[in-house]
Amino acid sequence: MIFKQKLENTTALVNRALSEFLPPADTKPEEIHQAMRYSVLAGGKRLRPVLALAAAELGGLQPEMILPAACALEFLHTYSLIHDDLPAMDNDDFRRGMPTCHKKFGEALAILAGDALLTKAFELLTWGNFPAELKMQVLREVAEAAGSQGLIGGQAADIRTEQEISEANLLYIHQHKTGELLTVAVRTGAVLSGLQGAKLEALTAYARYLGLAFQITDDILDLTGEEIKLGKPLFSDQKNAKLTYPALFGLEKSKAMAWEIMQQGLQCLDIFSEEADFLAGLLQFVVKRDY
Ligand code: GRG
């Protein structure tokens, strides 16, 4: 199947499952479930669950088996976006082409919706008929990726007002704020499908390159993208004085770096045959996308 078709099919599968796994909007207390559904179902690329499904396919797992864990990663990602948009953080009004959760439901409910999605993610990771030790491994890895030495750590470093202007600091922020969750998405699919050893290592290395290429492209799109396609205003990094690749290296060099990192990521898939074509396509999509 051609890449675009497979991406569309997989995304549709994920979207259906996300809606199914969320409590219905009329579940009491209605407002929290409406806020959770609003932010999750607002759209988005679904990159993290799609990566988990693609990695699980390499290990021979049927999509239905991995969907709860894959959707857990999207819930966790959406929680981080809701909290990142809050007035105390980036104070953004638009996300995924719609008013941010706090703009629509107020700040208190937005905080709670984020908290509830994070909690729901860990519930979903316990689902499925997988060996207990694999589930425990994934639960631990996702908790680490989301925690103060992962996503939250990256965010804490990112919101510092006094920022060290260096490549090492930029790399730290990007790897933690963005890279950790993308990496654990790939590893979740791989680990639960029983992959280990050299194949698991290769996929982990692939995911680290993908995470970096994703964030450099995200930085570039914040300057050169189209607001309609991105679903949020441009120049948000400049507004918030963020340390970014274009700020440190300029636009052209940043584009060249994203391309080079993509090539390195693709090489990690060399130990697989055409079975890894979808993962290769996803890495190329991450760099070539315009949204
Ligand atoms: C508040 C705990 C906490 C963490 C926030 C994710 C994050 C950390 C901040 C979001 C702001 C941002 C620009 C992060 C870096 C890149 C990123 C994660 C972009 C959004 O991800 P996409 O492009 O979004 O996959 P969609 O909407 O497609 O899911």
Q: Are 53 and 63 in contact (CB under 8 A)?
A: yes
> 83 CB under 6 A from ligand 1?
yes
User: What's the gap in Å between 284 CA and the centre of ligand 1?
Assistant: 19
Q: Which atom of ligand 1 is nearest to 48's Cα?
A: 25
Distance, C-alpha 26 to centroid of its chain: 28
Residue type, 101: C
Tokens of 215: 């964030």
Q: Whose CA is nearest to atom 18 of ligand 1?
A: 178
- One digit per residue, the tens of pLDDT, for the chain of length 291 reads 699 999 999 999 999 999 999 999 999 999 999 999 999 999 999 999 999 999 999 999 999 999 999 999 999 999 999 999 999 999 999 999 999 999 999 999 999 999 999 999 999 999 999 999 999 999 999 999 999 999 999 999 999 988 888 999 999 999 999 999 999 999 999 999 999 999 999 999 999 999 999 999 999 999 999 888 888 888 988 888 888 999 999 999 999 999 999 999 999 999 999 999 999 999 999 999 989
> 152 CB under 6 A from ligand 1?
yes
User: What's the gap in Å between 77 CA and the centre of ligand 1?
Assistant: 7
Provide the pLDDT for residue 15: 98
> 177 CB under 6 A from ligand 1?
yes
> 111 CB under 6 A from ligand 1?
no
SS (H, E, C) the chain: CCHHHHHHHHHHHHHHHHHHHCCCCCCCCHHHHHHHHHHHCCCCCCHHHHHHHHHHHHCCCCHHHHHHHHHHHHHHHHHHHHHHHCCCCCCCCEECCEECHHHHHCHHHHHHHHHHHHHHHHHHCCCCCCCHHHHHHHHHHHHHHHCCCCHHHHHHHHCCCCCCCCHHHHHHHHHHHHHHHHHHHHHHHHHHCCCCHHHHHHHHHHHHHHHHHHHHHHHHHHHHCCHHHHCCCCCHHHHCCCCCHHHHHCHHHHHHHHHHHHHHHHHHHHHCCHHHHHHHHHHHHHHHCCC
Sign of the dihedral defined by the CA atoms of residues 102, 109, 145, 53, in that order: negative
> 96 CB under 6 A from ligand 1?
yes
Provide the pLDDT for residue 237: 85
User: What's the gap in Å between 199 CA and the centre of ligand 1?
Assistant: 28
> 114 CB under 6 A from ligand 1?
no
Q: Whose CA is nearest to atom 26 of ligand 1?
A: 44
Q: Are 68 and 128 in contact (CB under 8 A)?
A: yes
Residue type, 205: A
User: What's the gap in Å between 273 CA and the centre of ligand 1?
Assistant: 32
Q: Whose CA is nearest to atom 27 of ligand 1?
A: 44
Q: Which of 74, 15, 72 is nearest to 47 (CA)?
A: 74
- Determine the Cα–Cα distance for residues 150 and 121; give it in Å rounded to an integer: 16
Pocket-testing residue among 111, 148, 177, ligand 1, by greatest number of atoms within 8 A of Cβ: 177
Q: Whose CA is nearest to atom 4 of ligand 1?
A: 80
User: What's the gap in Å between 280 CA and the centre of ligand 1?
Assistant: 22
What contacts 132, CB < 8 A, 6 or more positions away?
none
Q: Which atom of ligand 1 is nearest to 214's Cα?
A: 16
Q: Are 33 and 12 in contact (CB under 8 A)?
A: no
> 44 CB under 6 A from ligand 1?
yes
Q: Whose CA is nearest to atom 20 of ligand 1?
A: 81
Going by DSSP bridges, is the β-strand pair 94-95/98-99 parallel, antiparallel, or unpaired? antiparallel
Q: Are 14 and 49 in contact (CB under 8 A)?
A: yes
- pTM for the whole structure: 0.96
Provide the pLDDT for residue 228: 86
User: What's the gap in Å between 1 CA and the centre of ligand 1?
Assistant: 29
Provide the pLDDT for residue 135: 98
